[in-house]
């Protein structure tokens, strides 16, 4: 979920289809997914995200993503992966054992941590630039307006006028009415995988920094939210969700290196999306994790204001 650091909830218990199956050592093992395990072999829990639990197959070559809800997100994610030219990673989508499932190749790496960010930047820049070359339709400005109204109502008690103004000004001047590109829209650090060091070293030794199968050292996952939108919104999410693991100055410097150009109109629009994304995150915490709201507000406002005062407010 969005560009925020939230501990994933514990896996649900007591689901339908839970059976006990003897393991090779003779002890009974809890088997939650008899149908899936008949197809893929015993599944080992690997990770759990906001929307799913992820298991790995016995050979370690695939991950089985089991969604927490039943909203067809496995098919949405598969469609988006194909749109993003990631169809090679997809091994299947299925419904079994009463759950919705996406199966994909396992990447030999881990979600980005602060120390990984500098190493990830070149690969990430290539991925994002390539993704945003796909253009189609226009940004839904009405939706931006609706979201702002919602944030205004919920966040009214807090002094955020400068942040609201950074979006509302450009919105009213028509600057957000732009062509849309295909965007990931959830580029927080948990959704960006980087090759483990050993693996990366082997690839460098390989001569071209690419793996034997032609894959890079960074992989963008979790395509459920991908949609057509302003690429600068995607880049704003990348800053608040990932680059802000760095110090404020380094984060902004890295963020600017992703922009297609530094024209004042681009910077004003990027500034607007940084503000909008921050308002979204504050709203999300208020609604979902109220105990974390104050500390997140302090961090996120410091970061957005650091950027707002350094980026132009107007085109000229």
Ligand X SMILES: Nc1ncnc2c1ncn2[C@@H]1O[C@H](COP(=O)(O)OP(=O)(O)O)[C@@H](O)[C@H]1O
Q: Which residues contact ligand X (rule: CB under 6 A)?
A: 47, 49-52, 54, 63, 65, 104, 106-107, 111, 190-191, 193, 221-222, 224
* 240 touches Mg ion by CB under 5 A: no
Out of ligand X, Mg ion, none, which partner does residue 277 contact, by CB within 5 to 8 A per kind? Answer: none
Q: Which helix (H) or strand (E) holds 192?
A: strand 192-195
Q: What is the separation of C-alpha 127 from the centre of its chain, rounded to a whole number of angstroms?
A: 13
Rounded Cα distance between 152 and 167, Å, is 12
Q: Closer to ligand X at the Cβ: 19 or 44?
A: 44
Q: How far is the CB of 117 from Mg ion (least distance, A)?
A: 17
What is the Cα–Cα distance from 267 to 264, expressed in whole angstroms?
5
Beta bridge partners of 90: 104
| Contact of residue 104 among Mg ion, ligand X, none (CB under 5-8 Å per partner type) | ligand X
Of ligand X, Mg ion, none, which one sits near residue 86, judging by CB under 5 to 8 A according to partner kind?
none
**DSSP helix/strand/coil, 310:** coil
Alpha-carbon distance of 243 to 289, in angstroms, equals 22
Which of 43-51, 122-130, 131-139, 263-271 is the region at the interface with Mg ion (rule: CB under 5 A)? Answer: 43-51
- Decide which of Mg ion, ligand X, none touches 107; Cβ closer than 5 to 8 Å per partner kind: ligand X
Give the one entry of Mg ion, ligand X, none that residue 282 binds, where binding means its C-beta sits below a cut-off of 5 to 8 angstroms depending on kind.
none
End-to-end C-alpha distance for the chain, whole angstroms = 36
Q: Cβ closer to Mg ion: 100 or 222?
A: 222
Q: Which of 111, 98, 31 is nearest to 68 (CA)?
A: 98
The answer to whether the CB of 284 falls within 8 A of the CB of 1 is: yes
For residue 222, the minimal CB distance to Mg ion (Å) is: 4
**In angstroms, what is the minimal distance from the CB of 271 to ligand X?**
28
Residues that bind Mg ion (CB under 5 A): 49, 191, 222
């Amino acid at each position: 979920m969005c560009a925020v650091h939230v501990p994933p909830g514990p896996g649900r218990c007591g689901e339908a289809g839970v059976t006990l199956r003897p393991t090779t050592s003779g002890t009974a093992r809890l088997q939650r997914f008899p149908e899936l395990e008949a197809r893929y072999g015993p599944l080992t829990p690997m990770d759990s995200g906001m929307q799913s639990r992820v298991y790995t197959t016995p050979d370690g070559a695939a991950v089985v993503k089991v969604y927490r809800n039943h909203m067809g997100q496995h098919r949405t994610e598969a469609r988006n992966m194909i749109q993003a030219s990631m169809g090679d990673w997809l091994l299947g989508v299925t419904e079994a054992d009463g759950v919705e499932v996406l199966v994909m190749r396992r990447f030999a790496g881990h979600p980005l941590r602060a120390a990984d960010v500098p190493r990830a930047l070149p690969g990430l820049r290539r991925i994002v630039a390539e993704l945003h070359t796909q253009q189609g339709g226009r940004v839904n400005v009405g939706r931006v307006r609706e979201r702002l109204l919602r944030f205004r109502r919920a966040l009214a008690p807090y002094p955020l006028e400068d942040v609201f103004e950074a979006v509302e000004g450009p919105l009213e001047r028509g600057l957000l009415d732009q062509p849309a590109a295909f965007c990931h829209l959830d580029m927080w650090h948990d959704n960006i995988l980087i090759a483990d060091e050993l693996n990366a070293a082997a690839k460098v030794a390989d001569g071209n920094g690419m793996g034997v199968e032609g894959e890079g050292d960074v992989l963008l996952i979790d395509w459920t939210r991908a949609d057509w939108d302003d690429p600068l919104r995607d880049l704003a999410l990348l800053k608040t969700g990932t680059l802000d693991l760095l110090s404020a100055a380094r984060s902004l410097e890295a963020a600017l290196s992703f922009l297609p150009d530094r024209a004042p109109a681009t910077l004003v629009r990027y500034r607007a999306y940084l503000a909008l994304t921050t308002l979204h995150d504050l709203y999300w915490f208020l609604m979902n994790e109220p105990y974390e709201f104050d500390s997140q507000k302090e961090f996120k406002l410091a970061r957005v204001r650091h950027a707002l005062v350094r980026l132009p407010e107007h085109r000229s």
